[in-house]
Structure 1
Amino acid sequence: MHWCSPLKNASPAGVSGRLDVRIAEKSFERVEGGQVCVLRDLAFSLEPGSFTCLIGPSGSGKTTTLRILLGLDTDFDGSVRLPGQDARIAVVFQEPRLLPWRTVEQNVRLALPDNATPDLDDLFDTLGLSDVRANFPGELSLGLARRVALARAFAIDPDVLLLDEPFVSLDEATAKRMRALLLRLWRGRGVSVLMVTHNVREAVALADRLLLISGRPAHLTGDVPLPLMQEARTPERMAALLDELGKAYPDMLQI
């Protein structure tokens, strides 16, 4: 989907190209009355072309943070500064959210602006979807449907891509292939990525930076750079990274 954020408290970021987020406070109304604060003093920036993973326990406000970035929740104190006046923000949810009565190609092109007809051959080839362009979602495996969701997001050539646990419920072999495809698209297109995941190993394999949130109200408890190139993250180095993270943030590996 193509989201042009309508945030009432958002403003363009000029020529910086960064996405700047400052959530001073986000609260919800309790059913029994009163309010509960779920986020407080959560601030971070995404540099152009970066890959950041947001990690935290269930109920810590990760999805709420994404909804704020998408402009789906504007009832918060703070601001979101977009990478530019016409920044394009794409999102991939946990479920593919494909229209069952439209073909794969039609679902992907739904994200495009009216009258836009770009050549998507390379995108379909990269994601291994060329042979199923005329298929309907009901004819696809979950892994293929997730690829279509990725294609729809990248079709608009986004400046920022938000991912809400896009590989959850996939078997590990399929998830590994999906992660490799995501990295390939990210490197080739220079998009800034923010991905929510509960899978710490997945985050360490993909990201160049981890944002850790916890507590109630949730706040940033760790900002961890991962400078080692993804190709160099062998099983041995991955194990060492996870061990270091486990020592520095003992609650992290329990998520």
Structure 2
Amino acid sequence: MDDVTETPITPTPPSRPSHPSLPSREDCWSEEASSTLIDAWGDRYLELNRGNLRQKHWQEVAEAVNARHGHVKKARRTDVQCKNRIDTLKKKYKVEKARVSASDGTLTSNWPFFSRLDALIGSTVSAKNPSPPLAVPLPYRKTMPALPVASPVPVAVRSAKRKRSSPAVAVDDSFFRRNYSAVAAAAAAVTENSESSRSSSESRHRDVEVDGFRQLAQAIVRFGEVYEKVEGAKQRQMIELEKQRVQFAKDLEFQRMQLFMDTQVQLQKIKRAKKAAAAGERTP
């Protein structure tokens, strides 16, 4: 009887539905496809200096996953499905991280993706939530007697008095881990929302800058068009003035020649008149 009470009672995790027509929570992602997804997402996540991926990056991630595992039409993934799967893996990692951290190094995670996600987002999670355990148990102290595990606690306490085991502490620790995981997930969601708002603010700032450059370029184009029209009008005026100058020079030259011819005609008339007068004087 004592041996039975020494074993801490742990709740059995609910199994996934086996009916093929019902969608599973993990969206039927295999371990190999999830591994390829983490590799493709992790490369771009590091290239962006651990920043948020945009739609074009998620499309590239989906193409990388489909290139290796999308030979069947049902197995092909969209960018939205890849993003949702990464969010699910992040939440799973945060739960595992909280469980390992709460054990003070006595527990390790058997989840195959834990070490890879810890290398990618482990420092981010620890930096965002430096010391939540100090504040997590406080709101739940008043509701501790109402926990459903109250009945096995006296048996665990009696067993602890006889053989120095502490199943009651294990129950509290599991409760603490569950609440710490919830708080850690909530804090991560708040942080992701703040990062999204900051990213949208930066995107709006870039849009304003792009719009300003676009207006400047349009103003330069309009100035160039006006300048081109002014220069064209100026050239046409110069051409017209040059034509008038040439015509005036022609008219002046014609008048000079006309005056010269009239002068020559008058001189010839005067010479003929003098000759006629001289011939009349010589004839008696």
Q: Same fold (TM over 0.5)?
A: no
Higher helix share goes to which structure?
A: 2
Of structures 1 and 2, the one scoring higher in RCO (CA 8 A, sep 6+) is 1
What interval of TM-score do these two structures reach, taking the shorter chain for normalisation? under 0.3
Higher strand share goes to which structure?
A: 1
Could you state the TM-score of these two structures normalised by the residue count of structure 2? 0.24
Structure 1 or 2, whichever has the larger Rg, is: 2
